[in-house]
Amino acid sequence: MLELPTSRDACLALDAADPLAAHRDAFALPPGVIYLDGNSLGPLPARTEAVLRDVITRQWGTDLIKSWNTAGWIDLPRRVGDRIGALVGAAPGQVIVADSTSVNLFKVLSAAVSMRPGRTVIVSEPENFPTDLYMAQGLIRQLGDTHSLRLVGPDALAGALGPDVAAVMLTHVNYRSGAMYDMAAVTAQVHAAGALMIWDLAHSAGAVPVALDAAGADLAVGCGYKYLNGGPGAPAFLYVAERHQASFAQPLSGWLGHAAPFAFETEYRPAEGVSRFLCGTPPILSMSALEVGVETVAAAGMAALREKSMALTTLFAARAALRCPSTTPASPADAARRGSQFCLRHPQAYAVMQALIERGVIGDFRTPDILRFGFAPLYVRFVDVWDAVETLADILDTGAWERPEFHARKAVT
Ligand SMILES: *Cc1c(COP(=O)(O)O)cnc(C)c1O
């Protein structure tokens, strides 16, 4: 770990020596903005516009429907899936890009439950991202309430793993606190209880090294528009370990998950392998943008990204403790136990974040009192961390957040 800089100049020196510095040029960041929200919406990669223009004008505009074959559109879900697989420790043929994270959660939960007949409990945690819990609740209703959801915090997980548990669904890096589970240890614990393990990698893919195969994970889902920089509403991905692919039933049995979509048979027959988790026609424009986003991360390598990310969050935590005494940390103190974000609590967090955004430091607010800051090491610099904390300190010291316009809640926080 790097020695922490103690001045703005020392931050500039670290940036000048940063082996990842050039990767910032892979993004079209607006001037004057410190972007600490790549965990919610990754910024626009510099190449995306040209790639999409080609997909639109040449592949779609000129080549029309031929592009399903000539431009390889039909292979995109697997091709981009394998690229994401390389970032999350999955050998080829186990990751596919499709639908949204929420829809993919439904698919993998349904498949997991059907693989553990006689077991009727899905375990998760109350602090999980709500859509994960909502999708489990929806599945349970669909199953006629034969199953139930058991919510326990990380410390109570061991005690919740009875012989009735079919599957455990956890988010690897918590969306609010940034706390990170030990994927291999938890997966082993869940397997020892005879249950299947589902990981949500929304805040992990492209942010921290993940080793799905090595950890023995059964299923996983993840998000394309956060650290993978795929653009607003980018398609999501899902992982099915090869050993499970033949026995998994896909509840959304659409034609592109069929063994022979263009045979137009009357009866559904699932495709071999991870392709059976496709449902309908893939969104080619969005998926093409996601491919560019994934390439921005792959070009840097997860190990180097992780090292810088831990240094960035450590610097932020130390500076905030010094300069913003009215805040309290809401993320683990040990960099190894958190993802690529750091959160602070403040009773007026919403207004404070609005004041920060007005000054060009973009993070986000998570109810009830969390200031959330994501540090994507591809483009966030040490000097950005320094300046962000100084701006926050000024807002807190001067009470700039008290202006009435900072208190009006917007639809998206
Ligand atoms: C962002 C996020 C999602 C997003 O789900 P969508 O279907 O893409 O809206 C799901 N789960 C977690 C843990 C997330 O952080």
Question: Tens of pLDDT along 48-101?
Answer: 999 999 999 999 999 999 999 999 999 999 999 999 999 999 999 999 999 999
| Residues taking part in catalysis | 129, 200, 225-226, 372
Question: CB of 341 closer than 6 A to ligand 1?
Answer: no
| 103 CA from centroid of ligand 1 (Å) | 10
Q: What tokens appear for 288 in the block? A: 């093409």
249 band by pLDDT with thresholds 50, 70 and 90: confident
Q: Return the axis-axis angle of helices 302-323 and 382-398, rounded to nearest 10°.
A: 30
Ligand 1 atom closest to residue 129's alpha carbon, by position in its atom list: 13
Question: CB of 129 closer than 6 A to ligand 1?
Answer: yes
1 band by pLDDT with thresholds 50, 70 and 90: low
User: Which of 39, 97, 131, 290 maximizes ligand 1 atoms within 8 Å of its Cβ, making it the mutation to test the pocket?
Assistant: 131
Using CA atoms in the order 405, 326, 1, 90, what is the torsion angle rounded to 10 degrees? Answer: -50
Question: CB of 392 closer than 6 A to ligand 1?
Answer: no
| Residue 60 Cα distances to 68, 74, 134, angstroms | 9, 13, 37
Question: CB of 413 closer than 6 A to ligand 1?
Answer: no
| 201 CA from centroid of ligand 1 (Å) | 9
pLDDT at 288 over 80: yes
pLDDT at res. 277: 95
Q: Return the axis-axis angle of helices 382-398 and 8-16, rounded to nearest 10°.
A: 150
| Residue 239 Cα distances to 68, 101, 129, angstroms | 24, 11, 19
Question: CB of 223 closer than 6 A to ligand 1?
Answer: yes
pTM above 0.95, yes or no: yes
Q: Whose alpha carbon is nearest atom 1 of ligand 1?
A: 202
pLDDT at res. 248: 82
Q: Whose alpha carbon is nearest atom 15 of ligand 1?
A: 202
Q: Look at residues 360, 85, 324 and name the one whose alpha carbon lies nearest to residue 343.
A: 324
| 100 CA from centroid of ligand 1 (Å) | 8
| 101 CA from centroid of ligand 1 (Å) | 6
220 band by pLDDT with thresholds 50, 70 and 90: very high
Ligand 1 atom closest to residue 128's alpha carbon, by position in its atom list: 13
Average pLDDT, the chain: 97
Question: Tens of pLDDT along 231-245?
Answer: 999 999 999 999 999
Residues 6 or more apart in contact with residue 283 via CB below 8 angstroms = 235
| 200 CA from centroid of ligand 1 (Å) | 8
**DSSP state letters, 216-232:** T--EEEE-SSSTT---T
pLDDT at res. 404: 94
Tell me the average pLDDT across 280-308. 97
| 399 CA from centroid of ligand 1 (Å) | 34
Question: CB of 174 closer than 6 A to ligand 1?
Answer: no
Contact 40, 32 (CB under 8 A): no
Ligand 1 atom closest to residue 171's alpha carbon, by position in its atom list: 13
Q: Domain 8-45+301-407 is of which CATH architecture?
A: Alpha-Beta Complex (3.90)
Which CATH code, of 3.40.640.10, 3.30.420.40, 3.40.50.300, 2.60.40.1930, is assigned to 72-298? 3.40.640.10
pLDDT at 162 over 60: yes
Residue spans of beta strands (DSSP E) within 34-147: 34-35, 95-97, 121-124
Domain edges within the chain: 8-45+301-407, 72-298
- Running DSSP on this structure, what letter comes out for residue 278? -
Q: Look at residues 255, 196, 204, 210 and name the one whose alpha carbon lies nearest to residue 227.
A: 204
pLDDT at 120 over 70: yes
Q: Whose alpha carbon is nearest atom 5 of ligand 1?
A: 101
